[in-house]
Structure formats: C-alpha cells, structure tokens
Structure 1
Amino acid sequence: MIFDAHCDIWTHVARKRLEGEQDIIRKYHLNKFKESDINGGIFVVWVDPPYDKNPKYRTKQILDKIQEEIKDSDDIVQIINNSEDFDKAKEHNKIAILIGMEGLQAIDDNIDDIEKLYSFGVRHASLTWNEENKLATGAKGNIERGLTEDGAKLVRKMEKLGMVLDVSHANEKTFWDICKVATKPFIASHSNCRSLCDVPRNLTDDQLREIASRNGVVGINSYEEFVSSNLEKRTIEGLVDHIDHMVEVMGINHIGLGFDFAEYMNSETLKHYASTYTYGVRGLEDTTKAKNIINALETRGYSKEDIEKICYKNFYRVIKEIIK
C-alpha cells in the first residue's frame, strides 16, 4: 500500500476534460494505481505554465473540472474531508484523495479565499510554487524575501481550519519564517536532502530536523535533478540514499513518498522547468514503477514495519492529526 503525497493528476484531468473527454481517472490512471499499489495521495491543483499568466482563471478552470471528474469517479475515489474518510476509502476499496493546492498564487492577497477552497474540499496547500507571490517566496525567488504578513495570517487560518501546510517549494527564509508562525505539524510533500544534492528545492539537515521536531513528514521526490548531480546516480538506489540520510537525521517516523511523477504533464509545461528529457530516476520512471521503491527498501534492509511507515503510515498519521 502506497500513499503518494504529491501527484499532479488534476493537471491531466483538466487538460483531457477541456479536450472533451470524461472519466479521466478511470480511463487513464486507475489500472496504473492498482498495478503500483497506490491507494491514495495528495492530488494537487497546480497552475501549470504557460497558464500561470492568469492564475486565478486557471485555478477556477481546474477546480471546475475536478468537480466534474469527482462525479464521474464517485464509485472509485474517496475525497478526504476528515480523518474518518481514510477508513471509508479502505472499506470500499477506493482511492483516498486529499485535494491540495501547489501554490496559492491565485489567492493574491485575498486570504479569506482559503475558506472558499476549504468549502470546495481542499485540505492541503503550499503557499508558493517556485515564484514570489503576495504570501511568500518560492525556491527561485529572492533569497532575502520570505513570508509576508498576509502569508503569516494565512498560515494561522489554515491551522484553524484544519488544513495541511506544505513547505516544499518554499525558499529557506520562507521556511524559517513559517516556523515562527506555525504551531501544528507541517509537511514537505516532495523534497530531498540538500546535503546529497545541492539544489534550492532540497532541504538542509537543519530543515529536516525542524520538520521532525514538529512531528511532520518529508516525502522523497523521484525527480532526477533533485536526486543527484551525478547522472550515474540518478537511480532508485540513489533515491534510497536520501531515505537513508533522512532516517539518520530525522528518524523513521518522519519520512514518506511524494514521487512528483511527470507523466501528467505535457511537453509544453515540462520545458518550463525541466532541463532534461527524462524526469523520474531510473527504476522509478512513472506511476507503474512505484512498487519498485518497496523492493529497493527491502534490499537495503528496511523492516516490513519501517517500509509501511515510509509508504503510507507516516503521512496518514500527520494528515489525520491535522484535519481531524
């Protein structure tokens, strides 16, 4: 059983529905999930380039298509609105979907809009993608700029509502500014270790320790440029090296999976942020290969209980605690 804490499937759903298709999850993804033993995940709304010029319009467009898709998929998906919904998903053999927001650029400075998103069913959000916005600063933003006053207010609102706060994509200053405001556990849904691969999207050991100290979780990311600068080490074994390091720094209870598979994107979107023609590390190229992480962990000597913690139990624990 695998919980993928970062899945861009809504991007694919929106694109296909805008092309006139229906029932996208069943048609394109359900068998892949079954093959890979993925039983749930955080499915995010991301304002994908080149549509980021009008984030509010694009966000509404994707949310409208999500609403349509949920109606088509009611018999195979369980939207997670509260902690009991995980049990309902398991009981009825449905995919447990936590609707998330990868960046809140569309909110601008209208922070009360988070309540509208919550009413829609959103239970997770990061404040930024890589950009600077009126809430916070992403990994490619000004290193001296962090969380704004509105961003701090939004963090407090999210905690009050019972939403999972995600710090993946935040720059370092935003991360530490969030730490001054947040009182509940938070996650980094799809980030790796900067000590093993020195890119701004990865987390320092101090950041990893801070997340663990707050009982949060970090989901390891299979995107190859975040695994190693050495092309030969962009493999599933190289990714498990990141897990080994996180275990040493954070402990086994704070590590999960946030694959960030690129198969949901088209080439027009991918060219805006990827510098290579391959995206997942060798052995974890796409959703159908997800179970390979279990074999790799077994080979590395992880116990059954520890593998279950990494694959789903750790994220289930923190999400259930936050959303109640």
Structure 2
Amino acid sequence: MRIVDAHCDALTKLALNERLDFDREQEELDVCFPRLRQAGVKVQLFAMYVSESIRNSGFDHILHMIDVFNRKIGRHPQMQIIRTSEDWLKVEASSKIGAILTLEGLDALGGNLAYIRLLHELGVRAIGLTWNYANWAADGVMEPRNGGFTRKGRGMLKELESLGIIVDVSHLSVAAFWELTNVYPKPFIASHSNAQAHCAHPRNLSDDQIKAIITCKGMMGLTFVPYFVESGKEHVPISALLNHIDHVCALGGEKHIGFGSDFDGIEQWMVNLRHTGDYANIREALSKSYTETQVEAFLYGNWRRFMVANLPRCKNPDQSNFDMDTI
C-alpha cells in the first residue's frame, strides 16, 4: 500500500550536516531512501526550514537547501522530483519515489516577492507561511499578540494564488488563519497539525478550523509529534493518533485526512513510530478500525487527489503522456 507524507525536516538536517547520507540508514536521520522504500512511501514532501540557530538568515540559506535537495535527493536514481500534476502521475506509474520541495516559514525571504517567484521556478510547490512566531508576512501560532497578516503578507497571498503555490497553515496564528479564509479563494492545507479536541496544544486545530479546511476542499496532515497527539504522557501509542482520525471523520473530513509525520523535526517519538520505516505499524493499526478503502485514502488517496488537482499543469501538454481531464 502506497503512502504520502506531507512534512518532514530531513532536508534541514542534510543541509546542516553534509556528512549525513540520504542513501543509507543512520541514527541521526529519520527519513532516508531505504526507510522510504521499506515503508512504501510513494511521495515525500521535504520542507526547507531555516533553523533559529542560524544568525542573520537570508535567502542564500534557502538556495543552499535547494542545492542540497537537488544533489542528495533529486539526483538519486530511484527518486523523482515532482513539480506538476503530470510528474505525480509519472511517478505513480513508475517504481520511483516522488519528492516535493516545500518551504516552512517565509522569514528568510525578507518581504521580497521576487524571491517567491524564483522559488516557484526552482520547484517549491507549497509554503508554510510562518513558523511559531511573527515574520514580515504574518503572525505564527505562538506569537503572543495573535495578529493576522501584514500589508506585505496580503500581497504575498495574491502572489501565491497567481503562481499556484499551495498555502500551508500549520504554525499560522488563529487570527491569520481566519483572515486567510476570507481573502484566499483556493484550497489550502495544514501539512502537520492535529485536532485540539483530543490534544489542546496551540499548534493543533479547533473544530471550526478543521471544518474550514474541509469546506475549502483542503487537506489536513496528522502529525506524529507525541505532545500534539496526547498531552501529559511520556509514551504515546498509535491508538491515540487514531482518536484524531475518528474526530476529523466525525466532522465530515474523511476525504481530507492524510499524514504529515514531522520526522526529523522532532526529538521525541511515539511508541513504534521512531522513523519512516515504521509506517507499517500505522497501517496495521488503521486496518483494525477502518476498511481497506479508508486506509488507502488516509495513507495515499486523499493526498493524491488533492495534489493532482492543485499542482501546476505541465506548461507544454505535448510533453505529457497523460490526459489530465480523465484523472
């Protein structure tokens, strides 16, 4: 059974530590090619996050991560970079694993919208607008003032809409979330967030927010961060994650649930979910509570439907062997 994982931070680790090898298993790397293959991951989204530990971060740090992505992941003989809907379908019809480049936080762009246009040309297909705190575009979810978008931030949203870059609201402040729903006409995602009803962490989404994602035909990637799954427990089982799935389904979101592990962005792990290779344990747990069709949708089909519909189309239809109107 195939899997889509909508968020990991392996690229950040690979960029910060050149000795790490994407092509072999290492203790320091949760996501690597052997583990993706072991788990049956068909498409992995790789986030670029400029760590807070980097002083005076700028666009050159983003360019460095894009270079690492191309060298260590994109050039791997069994990986294929996905930039268009047609690319996704080509990967689906092959034995290769797809890789999509994303950005987590706009901080390093410094308000320069030309950088967003350049990132699109370089293959970035989804952007998380903030990390936890405020930047030039909007407030993050941990920013005490809980503000919305700045004037530049609203201009940035128009640019993302025009380019077709997918908006990711994980880490976004509550005020900015609701402002987005009023001004942004396209579907958006929360790549790695859970339900507040089962774990009252600020990074999780309220029922109303989840309903808004459902209404806009977006997607919610449930994450494996233990303290986003169940608070106050040292050992969090996979069954606790299924509670979040049950809840989103009860809100009408069965077709809008996927996973966004946050592997390599965490220092604590759920029981039997230590790295990407452990996805089989999720599949096993899901199969005890859901039908085969539902399990396939949660692991792959829901993300697949969203991405094929919302990734850019190939600029030259003659280059594609697929009739997109039949998908």
Query: Do structure 1's residue 27 and structure 2's residue 24 form an aligned pair?
Result: yes
Q: Which residue of 2 aligns with 1:273?
A: none
Corresponding residue SS for 1:98:
strand
| Separation in structure 1 between the aligned mates of residue 251 and residue 235 of structure 2, nearest angstrom | 21
Q: Which of the residues 62, 65, 69 maps onto 1:62? A: 65
Q: Which of the residues 276, 281, 293 maps onto 1:287? A: 276
CA contact (8 A) 1:52 1:58 kept: no
Point out where structure 2 has 5 or more consecutive residues left out of the alignment: 26-31, 313-327
Corresponding residue SS for 2:22:
helix
1:228 shift after superposition: 1.2
TM value normalised by structure 2: 0.88
Q: Deviations over 1:77-111 (max 9, x none)?
A: 11111101112112331111111001111111112
Q: Which of the residues 261, 285, 297 maps onto 1:296? A: 285
Q: Which residue of 1 aligns with 2:133?
A: 131
Give the residue type in structure 2 aligned to 1:228: E
Q: Which residue of 2 aligns with 1:112?
A: 114
For residues 220-299 of structure 1, what are the structure 2 equivalents within 5 Å?
220-231=222-233, 234-262=236-264, 279-299=268-288
Give the residue type in structure 2 aligned to 1:13: L
| Separation in structure 1 between the aligned mates of residue 291 and residue 87 of structure 2, nearest angstrom | 28
| Separation in structure 2 between the aligned mates of residue 106 and residue 59 of structure 1, nearest angstrom | 7
Greater helix content: 1
Residues 293 and 245 of structure 1: CA distance in aligned 2, closer, same or farther (over 3 Å): same
Moved segments of 4+, more than 6 Å: none
153-162 or 109-118, which deviates more: 153-162
Residues 163 and 71 of structure 1: CA distance in aligned 2, closer, same or farther (over 3 Å): closer
| Separation in structure 1 between the aligned mates of residue 48 and residue 55 of structure 2, nearest angstrom | 12
| Separation in structure 1 between the aligned mates of residue 106 and residue 252 of structure 2, nearest angstrom | 28
28-37 or 115-124, which deviates more: 28-37
Give the residue type in structure 2 aligned to 1:231: K
Q: Which residue of 1 aligns with 2:91?
A: 89
Q: Which residue of 1 aligns with 2:315?
A: none
Corresponding residue SS for 1:48:
coil
CA contact (8 A) 1:164 1:319 kept: no
Q: Deviations over 1:30-67 (max 9, x none)?
A: 11111111111211101123126414342222122223
Corresponding residue SS for 2:102:
strand
CA contact (8 A) 1:78 1:88 kept: no
CA contact (8 A) 1:261 1:279 kept: no
1:260 shift after superposition: 0.8
Corresponding residue SS for 1:93:
coil
Q: Which residue of 2 aligns with 1:191?
A: 193
| Separation in structure 2 between the aligned mates of residue 163 and residue 57 of structure 1, nearest angstrom | 21
**Aligned-CA RMSD value:** 1.7
Aligned positions, number = 305
Point out where structure 1 has 5 or more consecutive residues left out of the alignment: 271-277
Residues 96 and 221 of structure 1: CA distance in aligned 2, closer, same or farther (over 3 Å): same
| Separation in structure 2 between the aligned mates of residue 229 and residue 71 of structure 1, nearest angstrom | 37
Q: Which of the residues 288, 299, 304 maps onto 1:311? A: 299
TM value normalised by structure 1: 0.89
Q: Which residue of 1 aligns with 2:9?
A: 8
Query: Do structure 1's residue 50 and structure 2's residue 53 form an aligned pair?
Result: yes
